[in-house]
Amino acid sequence: MQEFTLISRYFAPLAQGFAGADGLRDDAALLTPPQGMALVATTDSMQEGVHFIGNEAPALLAQKLLRVNLSDLAAKGATPWCYLLNLSLPPACDEAWIADFSHGLAQDQARYGIVLAGGDTTNTKAGISLSLTAFGLVKAGHRLVRRCGAQVGDLLYVTGTIGDGYLGLKAAQGELAGVSEQDWLYLLGCYQLPEPKPELAIALVGLARASMDISDGLVQDVGQLCTASGVGAEVRAEDVPLSDAARRWQQVHPEKRMELLTGGDDYELLLAIAPENVKDVEALAASWCQPLTCIGVVVAERKLEIRDADGMPLQITQGGWQHHFGY
């Protein structure tokens, strides 16, 4: 299929209603944020063989690509606005593949209130390469909630549950043993389709001193937040919230519990909350019926300690997910 046919048939409909995209007929899009608003930009890529296997449903890949970016916007308290999409596709990605991919995008555009503004499409002889740049809106002049704002005495909170994405990845790789079929499907779903909750995130982040999304493993990401803020943290492993499925897995593999805290793909929020805001933050989460759990505290000493139920420090075997470069 011709590139132009592909764009007009499958991508132009996704840009409908966004005047600055001009129906994807021009060289570039014009981004004019609404009056009084500033742009927050983030970008994330997914490569076949690194971030996904390649046999996933295209719609699921599209939704995950969009959602990992929405998770970053949410962590900065930004409202989703528009996005740019870069695709490098091998010949095996035929029209049916693109139709399904764009269908996934359409579904999540409606769900999250975001619209396509432009992109680029190329052929490749290598694996599928997907990249998305998302723009969100915050009030102009408003101080962005960064990773670096945590202060000694702040309480560390996480949204949702931790470790499901990691177990779901193991399921996708055929390496998840000792769980029921129902749990297996639930965990795989968590990996394939994380669920950022922008509206709740925006409200929570507004009450936080520091925030970030948890994507590379809780332990590593707490470490990142602490490093950025020039502080340390004590985390209580027992208090890290687990889903019922992850809890059942942990009962079968008690020696592997640390893996849930170091594995990636959670796409939940990590927040540092000043003690005076704890009540409001907890009331907010309760009014949304969303889990929000205090897992530890920010300390002055620049260390990261994960403690068991008896207060004994646990050995951190693996920091979390990092790409390794050949230089």
Q: Where on the chain is the footprint of ligand ADP (CB under 6 A)?
A: 7, 11, 24, 26-27, 85, 87, 116, 118-121
Rounded CA gap, 247 and 244, in Å? Answer: 5
Rounded CA gap, 133 and 248, in Å? Answer: 37
Q: Which does 94 bind (CB under 5 to 8 A by kind): Mg ion, ligand ADP, none?
A: none
Q: Which residues contact 11 (CB under 8 A, 6 or more apart)?
A: 24, 85, 102, 116, 119
Pairing of strands 79-89, 129-139: antiparallel
The beta-strand segments (E) located in 52-179 are 79-89, 115-123, 129-139, 155-159
Q: Which does 158 bind (CB under 5 to 8 A by kind): ligand ADP, Mg ion, none?
A: none
In this complex, which beta carbon is closest to ligand ADP, that of residue 122 or of residue 180? Answer: 122
Q: How far is the CB of 187 from Mg ion (least distance, A)?
A: 38
Q: How far is the CB of 87 from ligand ADP (least distance, A)?
A: 5
Q: Which does 11 bind (CB under 5 to 8 A by kind): Mg ion, ligand ADP, none?
A: ligand ADP
Q: How far is the CB of 29 from ligand ADP (least distance, A)?
A: 6
Residue pair 282/214 in contact by the 8 Å Cβ criterion: no
Residue 154 gets which letter from DSSP? Answer: P
116-135 residues in contact with Mg ion (CB under 5 A) are 120
Q: Which residues contact 193 (CB under 8 A, 6 or more apart)?
A: 60, 63, 64, 67
Size of the site for Mg ion (CB under 5 A): 1
Q: Which does 208 bind (CB under 5 to 8 A by kind): Mg ion, ligand ADP, none?
A: none
Q: How far is the CB of 24 from ligand ADP (least distance, A)?
A: 4
In this complex, which beta carbon is closest to ligand ADP, that of residue 18 or of residue 157? Answer: 18
Q: How far is the CB of 27 from Mg ion (least distance, A)?
A: 9
Q: Which does 87 bind (CB under 5 to 8 A by kind): Mg ion, ligand ADP, none?
A: ligand ADP
Q: Which residues contact 197 (CB under 8 A, 6 or more apart)?
A: 74, 159, 290
- In order of 38, 65, 159, 240, 269, the CA distances from 293 in angstroms are 31, 27, 6, 7, 11
Q: How far is the CB of 182 from ligand ADP (least distance, A)?
A: 37
Q: Which does 204 bind (CB under 5 to 8 A by kind): Mg ion, ligand ADP, none?
A: none
Q: How far is the CB of 117 from Mg ion (least distance, A)?
A: 14
Nearest residue to Mg ion by CB is 120
Q: Which of 303, 299, 321 is nearest to 313 (CA)?
A: 303
* 94 lies in the site for Mg ion, by CB under 5 A: no
The site for Mg ion (CB under 5 A) is made up of 120
